[in-house]
Structure 1
Amino acid sequence: MDADPDLVGTEFEESLEAACRTAVGDSLRSITYFTPEQFTQVYLRSDLDSDADLAGFVEHETDGFRAKRAYRGSELGDYEFSIRAFENGYLTRVTAGGHGVFVTTDGLTMRRSEEVATALQEVLTEREVASTA
């Protein structure tokens, strides 16, 4: 898993940040965009240290690509997103096609988590459509 600061352009970064800020406001901690092979941290709140093992997080979060296949046909319906709870915050992961995003936040209600996941799904889908056009 390789970090690639040039993986996304400014316009896409701004779209991701705007979607997250609209959904979760100032509780946004970080945004990381990833593919199965590469990742880049799009946003990190200024009061946080940049010393997290981002590659380790991304490696684990790429499981989202397999989750869509693994849960296909489930009685619960299609897999949409994952939420992980930690001592100091939450992580919401969304994947679409061959790319994904995970967002870390301070406090998070289920409604806010659904809002940020829906917004990210839209941004990822728009990028996927634009790249195939």
Structure 2
Amino acid sequence: MELESHLVSDTRSESLVRACRTTVGDDLRSVTYFTPDRYEQLYLRSDLEADADLAGFVEHETDGFHARTAYKGSELGNYQYTVRAFDQGYMTRVTVADSGVFVTTDGLTLRRSEELASTLGELLQSE
């Protein structure tokens, strides 16, 4: 897994971060864009340390690309997004064909997670 400094354009990066800030507000911790083999952290809140194992997170989150096909046709419908709960926050992952975003937050309601996933999905589809 390779860290890229400009995997997405500045305009695209700003659009994704702005959408997350609008939906999540001050609870937003980080925004990371990824593909099956590269990633770029687009935002990290200023009070947080940049010492997270992003490569490890991204490696695990690329499973989202497989989830889209693994759950296709299930009785639950098509896979949309994943929310993970941790002791000190939440992660929301959205993937489309060959790109994805995961967002970490302090707090997250079900309504906000749905709004966040829907917005990110639309932005990723428009690439």
With the shorter chain as reference, the TM-score category is: over 0.9
> What's the counterpart of residue 70 of structure 2?
70
> What's the counterpart of residue 44 of structure 1?
44
Structure 1 unaligned blocks of 5 or more: 128-133
- Take 2:60 and 2:43, find their aligned partners in 1: how far apart are those partners? 19
RMSD: 0.5
> What's the counterpart of residue 31 of structure 1?
31
- Take 2:84 and 2:30, find their aligned partners in 1: how far apart are those partners? 14
Instruction: Please give the residue correspondences for 1:111-122 in structure 2 after superposition, counting only pairs within 5 Å.
Output: 111-122=111-122
> What's the counterpart of residue 131 of structure 1?
none
Q: Measure how far apart 1:101 and its partner are.
A: 0.2
Instruction: Please give the residue correspondences for 1:54-133 in structure 2 after superposition, counting only pairs within 5 Å.
Output: 54-127=54-127
- TM-score by structure 1 length? 0.94
The aligned length equals 127
Structure 2 unaligned blocks of 5 or more: none
> What's the counterpart of residue 14 of structure 1?
14
Structure 1 stretches of at least 4 aligned residues deviating more than 6 Å after TM superposition: none
Q: Measure how far apart 1:6 and its partner are.
A: 1.2
- TM-score by structure 2 length? 0.99
Letter in 2 for 1:101: V
SS at match of 1:83: strand
SS at match of 1:29: strand
Q: Measure how far apart 1:38 and its partner are.
A: 0.2
Letter in 1 for 2:90: Y
Q: Measure how far apart 1:21 and its partner are.
A: 1.1
